[in-house]
Amino acid sequence: MFLFSLLLLNCNLSSGQLKVITELPKKLKEVSGTQINKDSEIIWMLNDGGNPSELYAFSKKGKLKRTLNIKAKNNDWEDLAIDDKGNIYIGDFGNNLNKRKNLVILKVAKKDLDTKKATVQKIKFSYPNQQKYPPKKKNMYFDTEAFFYFKNNLYIFTKSRVKNKFGKTFLYKVPANEGTYVAKLLGEYDNCKDLECWITSADISPKGNKIALLSQKNILIFSDFKEDDFFKGTVKEIPLKHRSQKEAICFKDQNTLLITDEKAHGSGGNLYELQLN
């Protein structure tokens, strides 16, 4: 991944100001997933592959409250989702080389979130249009860093490894229940061509009428869609003049986003807030 210098901590964007809530602790230097529990206002975070199998609970002011050990390997955790009942989903689907056959989403029951160690249910899946592991370079569209829960399904947005098509993302869905599935392909969207255009996180608003896709270059807000035909909706681009290795996004409320970035070369490693209106 490309790393960018932190230009400004507070920087004006097209729809508001990116506000720093707090600097994250060192143990979150490779933060790759962020999700808020609306009921308790706890903000959950995780690190990507190569780090301990742990979830970190933060207060709404960004203070670390406790750590939850997850009884499953962190192959390459990349994003977090939450359902209407407060169950948490961990996307273990990072796939840089496009050759993984053990793609899985880990479901942590709400009742286990207050414990010290949590067991998981496994939602295993494969892509219907991948036949080779890895595929040829021109077909390396099966890395993933972004998903969310919506109406009993999990919606997965892929990250492209194809030169000059880095911003291309494919949308799939799988049931939010334990089992083994072939994901259903729903559509595709082209963000832009550069490396900084690849999709690193996604979330859906509390009312289910807006989705946010994050890249290093911009945030894409889709609205006015029908059912789960998200890409057929209206899209608004929020250019990010504030450049860093942003890896996670979630809706704090209907019009507020939370964003985190990795710590690298003395910059980043923060929890931010962005007002959409």
DSSP string, 23-53: EPPGGGTTEEEEEEETTTTEEEEEE-TTS-S
* 103 contacts: CB under 8 Å, gap ≥ 6: 92, 93, 95, 124, 125, 126, 144
Measured CA to CA, the distance from residue 220 to residue 236 in angstroms comes to 6
CA atoms within a 13 Å half-sphere pointing along the CA-CB vector of 8: 10
**Tens-binned pLDDT, residue by residue, of the chain (277 aa):** 333 333 333 333 333 368 999 999 999 989 999 999 988 889 999 999 999 999 999 998 889 999 999 999 999 999 999 999 999 999 999 999 999 999 999 999 999 999 999 999 999 999 999 999 999 999 999 999 999 999 999 999 999 999 999 999 999 999 999 999 999 999 999 999 999 999 999 999 999 999 999 999 999 999 999 999 999 999 999 999 888 899 999 999 999 999 999 988 778 899 999 999 7
Measured CA to CA, the distance from residue 236 to residue 159 in angstroms comes to 20
Domain at 11-275: CATH code: 2.120.10.30
Q: Is 98 left (phi over 0), alpha (psi -120 to 50) or beta?
A: left
Tell me, what's the pLDDT at 1? 36
CB 156 within 8 A of CB 147: yes
Q: Which residue has the tokens 């595709």?
A: 188
| pTM for this predicted structure | 0.93
CB 200 within 8 A of CB 246: yes
Tell me, what's the pLDDT at 17? 64
Strands 42-47 vs 64-70: parallel, antiparallel or unpaired:
unpaired
* 235 contacts: CB under 8 Å, gap ≥ 6: 220, 221, 222
Measured CA to CA, the distance from residue 151 to residue 167 in angstroms comes to 27
